[in-house]
């Protein structure tokens, strides 16, 4: 493993990787030598993202899957192993938002947000962890949010999903650290992506997807005798 390519020989599976934060993470890890498996629901957008990375000489597998469904996750993990090798890094990034007063949110929207932002992390991590335990190595990085620590009007459903995600992350870290597996949470503030409207904000002052990718790279390259359990990421200037 060279200092220029610290993830050479590693395989990273990234969910929600067709655009935004997930794509930036995939690109960053690929530039560090990792073979990357990109997962998202939209096959066309996913393949376009993979094609761009291949032009940068990054080894990529583009595997459409709905991470809310256990059977699709099983296929995703198996296909990643066949295409690239055993999974060393899992970045749980897939997420959605529904905003508005909690008492006005539909049950369907509640289910969709919690299933995508929280249950999917449980399902994908559960699919990947047994092999990491067998090999006694691995790193799981969950893309959480400052909304998992701070309440705001209209954020009830989204905040609930991210507060739950942080609780899951901390418990997974305790469950798995004895096997040499590190589990970390990255908690960014608002990021300039298509994820949610940013009315009235100066996007040039907001966090960029590459800022989150940098944080992921940082926790993955921590010395093996320690791990960074949580990163809180804020813009220098308030947008």
- Residue 202 pLDDT level (bands cut at 50, 70, 90): confident
Tokens 């006694």 belong to residue: 136
In a domain, 239, yes or no: no
Q: Which residue has the higher pLDDT, 212 or 204?
A: 212
| Residue 224: predicted pLDDT | 87
In a domain, 238, yes or no: no
Q: Is 81 helix (H, G, I), strand (E, B) or coil?
A: helix
In a domain, 167, yes or no: yes
Tokens 């399902």 belong to residue: 123
The answer to which of 26-40, 187-201, 212-226 has the lowest mean pLDDT is 187-201
In a domain, 2, yes or no: no
| Residue 211: predicted pLDDT | 97
Query: Strands (DSSP E) along the chain, which ranges?
Result: 11-15, 35-39, 60-62, 89-92, 138-143, 181-188, 230-233
For the record, the structure tokens of 167 come out as 């609780």
In a domain, 106, yes or no: yes
**Mean pLDDT of the region 22-32:** 98
- Residue 57 pLDDT level (bands cut at 50, 70, 90): very high
For the stretch 118-173, pLDDT in tens is 999 999 999 999 999 999 999 999 999 999 999 999 999 999 999 999 999 999 99
In a domain, 6, yes or no: no
* pLDDT higher than 90, residue 109: yes
Cβ-contact 145, 152 below 8 angstroms: no
Host domain of residue 92: 11-233
* pLDDT higher than 60, residue 2: no
| Residue 200: predicted pLDDT | 66
Q: What is the pTM of this model?
A: 0.95
Q: In whole angstroms, what is the distance from residue 193 CA to residue 21 CA?
A: 8
* pLDDT higher than 80, residue 239: no
* pLDDT higher than 60, residue 197: no
- What residues contact residue 34 under an 8 Å CB cut-off, 6+ apart? 7, 8, 10, 11, 12, 88, 89
The alpha carbon of 38 is separated from its chain's Cα centroid by a whole number of angstroms, namely 11
CATH number, domain at 88?
Answer: 3.40.50.720
Q: In whole angstroms, what is the distance from residue 85 CA to residue 126 CA?
A: 18
Cβ-contact 30, 8 below 8 angstroms: no
| Residue 121: predicted pLDDT | 98
Neighbours of 7 (CB within 10 A): 22
Q: In whole angstroms, what is the distance from residue 191 CA to residue 205 CA?
A: 10
Q: How far is CA 150 from CA 156, 162, 185, 194, 221, in A?
A: 10, 10, 15, 22, 28
- Residue 198 pLDDT level (bands cut at 50, 70, 90): low
For the record, the structure tokens of 41 come out as 């629901």
Domain count, the chain: 1
List the catalytic residue out of 158, 211, 216, 220. Answer: 158
| Residue 141: predicted pLDDT | 98
| Residue 199: predicted pLDDT | 65
| Residue 195: predicted pLDDT | 67
**Average pLDDT value over all residues in the chain:** 95
Q: How many Å from the N-terminal Cα to the C-terminal Cα in the chain? A: 39
| Residue 139: predicted pLDDT | 98
Q: Is 179 a catalytic residue?
A: no
Cβ-contact 29, 51 below 8 angstroms: no
In a domain, 4, yes or no: no
């Amino acid at each position: 493993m060279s200092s220029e390519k610290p993830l050479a020989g590693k395989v990273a599976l990234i969910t929600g990787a067709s655009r935004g934060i997930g794509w930036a993470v995939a690109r960053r890890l690929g530039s560090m030598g990792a073979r990357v498996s990109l997962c998202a629901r939209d096959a066309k957008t996913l393949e376009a993202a993979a094609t761009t990375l291949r032009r940068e000489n990054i080894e990529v597998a583009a595997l459409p899957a709905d991470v809310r469904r256990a059977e699709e996750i099983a296929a995703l993990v198996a296909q990643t192993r066949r295409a690239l090798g055993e999974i060393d890094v899992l970045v749980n990034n897939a997420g959605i938002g529904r905003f508005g007063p909690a008492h006005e949110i539909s049950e369907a929207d509640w289910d969709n947000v919690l299933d995508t932002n929280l249950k999917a992390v449980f399902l994908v991590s559960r699919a990947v962890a047994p092999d990491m335990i067998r090999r006694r190595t691995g790193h799981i990085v969950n893309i959480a949010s400052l909304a998992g620590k701070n309440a705001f009007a209209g954020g009830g459903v989204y905040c609930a999903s991210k507060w739950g995600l942080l609780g899951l992350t901390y418990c997974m870290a305790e469950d798995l650290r004895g096997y040499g597996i590190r589990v970390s949470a990255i908690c960014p503030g608002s990021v300039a992506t298509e994820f949610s409207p940013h009315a009235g904000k100066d996007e040039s002052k907001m966090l960029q997807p590459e800022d989150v990718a940098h944080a992921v790279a940082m926790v993955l390259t921590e010395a093996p005798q320690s791990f960074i359990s949580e990163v809180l990421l804020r813009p220098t200037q308030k947008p």
